[in-house]
Amino acid sequence: MTALGKLLRSTGGLGTVVLVLVASLPLWFIQSSFVLSVATLTLIFMAASLGWNVISGFGGQISFGHSIFFGLGAYTTALLQVRYHLNAYVGVVLGVVVAVVLAVLLGAVTLRLRGIYFSLATFALTLVFAILTGHYEGFTGGEVGLTLPLLGDAPGQFSFDNKVVFYWIATLLAALAFVATWLVLRSRLGLQLRAIQADQEAAQASGVLAFRVKLVGLAISAVPAALAGSVYMQYVAFIDPDSAFGATVATQIAVIAFVGGAGKLWGPVIGAVILVPLQQLLNSSLSAYPAGFNLVVYALVVLVILWIEPRGIMSMRIRRRTPRPPARDAAPPGDSVPDPRPVDAVSATPSVPTSRNGS
Amino acid sequence: MTTLVQTLVSGILVGGLYGLFSSGLTLIFGITRVINFAHGDFVTLGMYGAVLLFASLGLSPLIGIIPVAILSFLIGAIVYRVIVRRTLSVKGISAIDAQHGQLVLTLAVSILISNLLLMFFGPSPRAVQGVLPAVYEVFGVYIQQARLVSFLIALVVFLLLYIALQRTLYGKAIRATVDDRDMASMVGIDPNKVYAVSFSVGIMLTGIAGCVLATYYPVTPTTGAGFLIIAFVTVVMGGLGNIVGAFVAGLLVGIIQQVTAIYVAVDLQDVGLFLAFVLVLVLRPQGILSGRKASA
Amino acid sequence: MAASTEPLLRVEGLTVRFGGLVAVNDVNFTVAEGELLGIIGPNGAGKTTTFNAVAGAVRPTSGTIRIGDALVSGRPPERVARLGIARTFQSVRLFKAMSVAENVTLSASTVCPSMGASRERAAEVAELLGMQALQDSRVDELPLADQKRVEIARALALRPRLLLLDEMMSGLNQAETRDLIGVITTLNSDGLTTIVIEHVLRVIMELSHRVLVLDHGVMIAEGPPREVMSDPRVVEAYLGRSAAANLGEPA
Ligand SMILES: Nc1ncnc2c1ncn2[C@@H]1O[C@H](COP(=O)(O)OP(=O)(O)O)[C@@H](O)[C@H]1O
Ligand SMILES: [Mg+2]
């Protein structure tokens, strides 16, 4: 309860307002099933990207392999139902377990790598998962993918006729992921991850068990990604290797956070709110645009945002004509004195739509 | 035995092209430290260049090399000037943030290129048909003319690059920058020029590799993703920034791929490669062909 | 010199090679509990490499390092830090974009049971160094002298048994140097065993109980400051070159 109280007071105050607002959207704003679906997917990918933010945003270990955990969540949930006829909720829980175990195993190998090497290794590994899932079709359904059996309205089996329920589940998932990353950020783990990001040698000289901290960070960050995969599976009822482990999902989870602001608590939230609707709008079968157009627009939007501010929207400054405070004396050579004015302001969100599935 | 020799020969022939576009990537990374996530798509761009020139003007890819090379160089220069330079000029940005910015920006360039290609050419595979159609048989081993000629071109272009790096003023400036960037700028080499030239030359080599690869390799808008990983595997195996290493590793990567395809399963040919990649990264991050110790 | 029966740090036969280069060559020394040892030597003599070996950042090619009964050599730097060896870096390596308090709390967090205790420890250290006013400043906005203090604070938060200070005075003006000498002396007289690497001889003369001279990785002299300074080998190896000017006015 004390944690909750603190949450409500600090960033949680804003968080609660946003949560109430988002949860109530279907009651007063979302009128079409298309918009509802866009909103649901936005929240699902927001959750995955919030998870990514723990190891990559706070810890600075840029993963292009969080699709591994997303895909494991989705496939575990699906396979347990299709192959073993188990309850979907068992699949959700086991999906998390499988993802965390693999995070630890893969992390034990890849987290010894620094910087870009870690990114490349995780990217290669997710493509390995995609290829293997396609190859062992007897079990996984191969390239054709897996479709969930139609169960109709069966809340006990994680199946709902009313799609608003999925929206609320996705809202809950994103909210939990947000709270989890917020708690991590305030904790010893978060501080140590940030120190590793800033300077791993200096962190180790201060006694930080860097490898272990990164491993724990990766394991934690796999949980929201796996849950996102499970909820996605139950919601869309279809998965194939490419939409689970492929390069598009792999990079999308990271790009959402980068556009919003990697390492910033609200970064993945803002990134998802801009990018996922962008992806869905032009990608819907309703559109008459040629194939590829959606992703061209998506890429341009990402380019423009990051061209303006490579650190993402959360780092954009509102230009004000206040005089600069006098520079302090003797700043270290090579380091410009940063503008000490408060900055984390969100500028107007661009409203260009796009999508990036199925090219 | 014949199968093995056939596998090795196929691996080496395609590996020469891997080596060429990977030496482009290693040139870019070794000097500018930019992780070019769009690298594979520049190969694809070269391939579509060959397809387009052949389909519209009837121009053989062997001649198409020249316009493709010039265009690739220019595109490289623009991408460097407009996108990469930008991340370095933002006020108060840290080196790490700048590098992450480049990573995501080049990733967006990759999405942009592959989907522009999808818009204009559609999703189905395209190829340059009927150029260099002969097949030679040497002691029971079959060698396609297109593969052989492509390999030879890759080798020649690579040797030209090597000589240019050894002999020309820019080449010397580039090598000086790889060895010690602070020292290089102290002796009056303008790093910005060196960066721009090496980025553009790197993309040019990549475009050339794509152009000749199109003589036998069908291209789709998404072909680039595979080449991206292949290029990174190759560059890491050869030792980052090591140009000769990249070319030799390219041959090795071609062989690993072919051996996996023939002796394990065709659709798993990249799994062996990617796992080898992760192992190389973990066990010998300085590359398997480099004697130097890794600095990263 | 502080008299003590058992040395706190014992370095035996320390050799560090980088490929063909022998950066540290068969160096032996001990540091007594409560002592303040100075290490001097020209650029590239192997001083920082010796520190790196003691701190676990560089693996010795051969030789052993012990603190108390515990073996240091062969352990990773984070374990060495937890054994009680804390260090600063020759070029300041703070966690940029973090506040002073966060920088210090971070290292406290590796030895304290909770975040609350870590924050208390950080506040304690800040008070000890008189930095309370700076707590919320971002470290990369501070002047160099303050950044160096934060590095000391970050090291102290570990409750070290041994403090390693690498060229703290470089880049500081006279007044700042004087301040920092005061800080180091106070910490040492409160019982903290310290090794300082310095380029400025005046500082070493003033601070150290005992001085050790390295040249080309070899220890060429050792003893009380004044004796060492008049050793002909030291004069030739060191003073003859870079620091003759400093010798003119021993403090
Ligand atoms: N990580 C390293 N790799 C290779 N050579 C190094 C490394 N660290 C130091 N050296 C070399 O070891 C020698 C001693 O360096 P150092 O200990 O930094 O000297 P000092 O601190 O006395 O100036 C120098 O020649 C330096 O170039
Ligand atoms: Mg030094």
Question: Confidence band (pLDDT; 50, 70, 90) for A328?
Answer: very low
CA atoms within 13 A on the CB side of C63: 23
Cβ partners under 8 Å of residue B52, min gap 6: none
CB atoms within 10 A of CB B134: 10
Cβ partners under 8 Å of residue C110, min gap 6: A192, A206, A207, A208, A209, C78, C81, C82, C158
A123 touches chain B (CB under 8 A): yes
Query: What's B2-283's CATH class?
Result: mainly alpha
- Cα C225 to averaged position of ligand 1 atoms, centre (Å): 25
CA atoms within 13 A on the CB side of A281: 12
CA atoms within 13 A on the CB side of C119: 10
A203 touches chain C (CB under 8 A): yes
- Choose between B183 and A53: higher pLDDT: A53
Q: State the ligand closest to the CA atom of C167.
A: 2
Quote the tokens at residue A66: 């969080």
Tell me the mean pLDDT in the region B205-234.
91
How much is the pLDDT for A266?
Answer: 94
What amino acid occupies position A197? Q
How much is the pLDDT for B290?
Answer: 52
Q: Give pLDDT tens digits for C182-226.
A: 999 999 999 999 999 987 778 888 889 999 999 999 999 999 998
Question: Confidence band (pLDDT; 50, 70, 90) for A330?
Answer: very low
Q: Give pLDDT tens digits for B163-180.
A: 998 888 878 887 777 777
What amino acid occupies position A102? L
Tokens 């944690």: give the residue.
Answer: A3
Q: Which region holds residue C26: left if phi is over 0, alpha if psi is between -120 and 50, else beta?
A: left
Q: Given an 8 Å threshold on Cβ–Cβ distance, is A120 in contact with B117?
A: no
For A207, the closest of C94, C138, C158 (CB atoms) is: C158
Nearest Cα of chain A lies from the Cα of C96 at a distance, in angstroms, of: 7
How much is the pLDDT for B265?
Answer: 85
Mutate to test the interface with B, among A112, A137, A251, A301 (most CBs of B within 10 A): A251
A128 touches chain B (CB under 8 A): yes
Q: Where are the alpha helices (DSSP H) in chain B?
A: 2-32, 39-57, 61-79, 85-89, 95-121, 145-167, 169-179, 181-186, 191-213, 223-238, 243-263, 269-283
Q: Would you say how long chain B is, in residues?
A: 296
Nearest Cα of chain C lies from the Cα of A332 at a distance, in angstroms, of: 6
C21 touches chain B (CB under 8 A): no
pLDDT higher than threshold 50 for residue A351: no
* Range from B112-116, B237-241, C46-50 carrying the lowest mean pLDDT: B237-241
Nearest Cα of chain C lies from the Cα of B292 at a distance, in angstroms, of: 10
Cα torsion C22, C26, C30, C35: sign: negative
Question: Confidence band (pLDDT; 50, 70, 90) for A325?
Answer: very low
Quote the tokens at residue C99: 């506040």
pLDDT higher than threshold 60 for residue B131: yes
What amino acid occupies position B103? L
CA atoms within 13 A on the CB side of A215: 14
Architecture per CATH, C1-84+160-251: 3-Layer(aba) Sandwich (3.40)
Q: Given an 8 Å threshold on Cβ–Cβ distance, is C19 in contact with B94?
A: no
C92 touches chain A (CB under 8 A): yes
How much is the pLDDT for C194?
Answer: 97
Q: State the ligand closest to the CA atom of C46.
A: 1
For A310, the closest of B101, B115, B267 (CB atoms) is: B101
Q: Given an 8 Å threshold on Cβ–Cβ distance, is A207 in contact with C110?
A: yes
Tokens 């891997």: give the residue.
Answer: B18
C46 lines ligand 1 (CB under 6 A): yes
Output the average pLDDT for chain C.
90
How are beta strands C193-197 and C162-166 bridged, if at all? parallel
How much is the pLDDT for B80?
Answer: 93
Quote the tokens at residue A53: 């933010």
Alpha-carbon distance of C25 to B200, in angstroms, equals 47
How much is the pLDDT for A333?
Answer: 39
Q: Give pLDDT tens digits for B179-207.
A: 776 777 767 777 788 889 999 999 999 99
C82 touches chain A (CB under 8 A): yes
Quote the tokens at residue B17: 């092209």
How much is the pLDDT for C79?
Answer: 96
A3 touches chain C (CB under 8 A): no
How much is the pLDDT for B190?
Answer: 78
For A359, the closest of B86, B114, B278 (CB atoms) is: B114
Domain with CATH 3.40.50.300 in chain C: 1-84+160-251
All chains having 3 or more CB pairs closer than 8 angstroms to chain B: A, C
Q: Given an 8 Å threshold on Cβ–Cβ distance, is B94 in contact with C97?
A: yes
Q: Given an 8 Å threshold on Cβ–Cβ distance, is C78 in contact with A340?
A: no
Q: Would you say how long chain C is, in residues?
A: 251
How much is the pLDDT for B295?
Answer: 36
pLDDT higher than threshold 50 for residue B253: yes
Alpha-carbon distance of A87 to A334, in angstroms, equals 60
pLDDT higher than threshold 70 for residue A1: no
Q: Given an 8 Å threshold on Cβ–Cβ distance, is B293 in contact with C96?
A: no
Question: Confidence band (pLDDT; 50, 70, 90) for A318?
Answer: low
Torsion angles phi and psi, residue B142, rounded to 5: -95, 135
How much is the pLDDT for C92?
Answer: 93
Q: State the ligand closest to the CA atom of C25.
A: 1
Cβ partners under 8 Å of residue A227, min gap 6: A47, A73, A92, A95, A96, A173, A177
**Share above pLDDT 70 across residues of chain B, in percent, rounded to a whole number:** 95
C44 lines ligand 1 (CB under 6 A): yes
How much is the pLDDT for A203?
Answer: 97
A236 touches chain B (CB under 8 A): no
How much is the pLDDT for B115?
Answer: 92
pLDDT higher than threshold 50 for residue A219: yes
Low-confidence ranges of chain C (pLDDT < 50): 1-2, 243-245, 247-251
C31-C37-C38-C39 Cα dihedral, nearest 10 degrees: 10
Alpha-carbon distance of A317 to A342, in angstroms, equals 9
Q: Give pLDDT tens digits for A158-184.
A: 888 888 999 999 999 999 999 999 999
Q: Given an 8 Å threshold on Cβ–Cβ distance, is C97 in contact with B293?
A: no
How much is the pLDDT for A335?
Answer: 36
- Cα C41 to averaged position of ligand 2 atoms, centre (Å): 9
Question: Highest mean pLDDT range out of A136-140, A302-306, A344-348?
Answer: A302-306
How much is the pLDDT for A348?
Answer: 33
How are beta strands C193-197 and C36-40 bridged, if at all? parallel
Cβ partners under 8 Å of residue A74, min gap 6: A95, A229, A230, A232, A233, A239, A244
CA distances from C167 to C40, C49, C148 (A): 10, 13, 10
**Burial annotation C59-77 (CB, 10 A radius, 16+ → b, else e):** ebeebebbbeeeebbebeb
C142 lines ligand 1 (CB under 6 A): no
Nearest Cα of chain C lies from the Cα of A344 at a distance, in angstroms, of: 14
- Cα C45 to averaged position of ligand 2 atoms, centre (Å): 8
Question: Confidence band (pLDDT; 50, 70, 90) for B133?
Answer: confident
How much is the pLDDT for A13?
Answer: 76
Q: Given an 8 Å threshold on Cβ–Cβ distance, is C96 in contact with B94?
A: yes
Quote the tokens at residue A240: 């194939």
Quote the tokens at residue A63: 């993963």
Q: How many contacts, defined by CB atoms under 8 Å, are there between B and C?
A: 3
Torsion angles phi and psi, residue B76, rounded to 5: -60, -45
Q: Given an 8 Å threshold on Cβ–Cβ distance, is C106 in contact with A191?
A: yes
How are beta strands A146-147 and C62-67 bridged, if at all? unpaired
Find the distance separating the first CA and the last CA of chain C, reported in whole Å. Answer: 19
CA atoms within 13 A on the CB side of A225: 35
- Cα C95 to averaged position of ligand 2 atoms, centre (Å): 21
Mutate to test the interface with B, among A295, A305, A308, A313 (most CBs of B within 10 A): A295
Q: What is the DSSP string of B174-201?
A: HHHHHH-HHHHHHTT--HHHHHHHHHHH
pLDDT higher than threshold 80 for residue B28: yes
Quote the tokens at residue A54: 């723990």
Ligand 1, atom 21: closest residue by C-alpha:
C48
How much is the pLDDT for C60?
Answer: 96
Alpha-carbon distance of A228 to A250, in angstroms, equals 13
Ligand 2 ion: residues within 5 Å (CB):
C 48, 90
For A306, the closest of B91, B96, B101 (CB atoms) is: B101
In chain B, which residues have their Cβ closer than 8 Å to the Cβ of C19?
Answer: 293
Residue pair B109/A299 in contact (Cβ under 8 Å)? The answer is yes
- Choose between C83 and B277: higher pLDDT: C83
Mutate to test the interface with C, among A194, A206, A215, A335 (most CBs of C within 10 A): A206
Torsion angles phi and psi, residue C71, rounded to 5: -80, 125
C47 lines ligand 1 (CB under 6 A): yes
For A296, the closest of B83, B115, B123 (CB atoms) is: B115
Output the CA angle B102-B103-B109, nearest 5 degrees. Answer: 85
Query: Counting Cβ atoms within 10 Å, is residue B139 exposed (0-12), middle (13-18) or buried (19+)?
Result: exposed
The pTM assigned to this predicted structure is 0.88
* CB interface of A with B, residues 323-342, below 8 Å: 336, 338-339
Find the distance separating the first CA and the last CA of chain A, reported in whole Å. Answer: 47
How much is the pLDDT for A12?
Answer: 67
Q: Where are the alpha helices (DSSP H) in chain A?
A: 2-9, 11-28, 33-52, 66-82, 88-110, 115-135, 137-140, 163-186, 188-198, 200-205, 210-236, 241-245, 247-260, 267-283, 293-308
Tell me the mean pLDDT in the region B37-51.
95
Of the candidates A196, A205, A259, the residue with the CA atom closest to the CA atom of residue A58: A196
Q: How many contacts, defined by CB atoms under 8 Å, are there between A and B?
A: 147
Output the average pLDDT for chain B.
87
Question: How far is Cα of residue C221 from the mean position of the Cα atoms in its chain?
Answer: 19
Ligand 1, atom 8: closest residue by C-alpha:
C49
How much is the pLDDT for A168?
Answer: 94
C19 touches chain B (CB under 8 A): yes
C93 touches chain A (CB under 8 A): yes
Of C16, C49, C164, C215, the residue with max ligand 1 atoms within 8 A of its CB, to mutate for a pocket test, comes to: C49
How much is the pLDDT for B293?
Answer: 40
* Range from B99-108, B132-141, B277-286 carrying the lowest mean pLDDT: B277-286
Alpha-carbon distance of B231 to B222, in angstroms, equals 15
Tokens 């139950």: give the residue.
Answer: A234
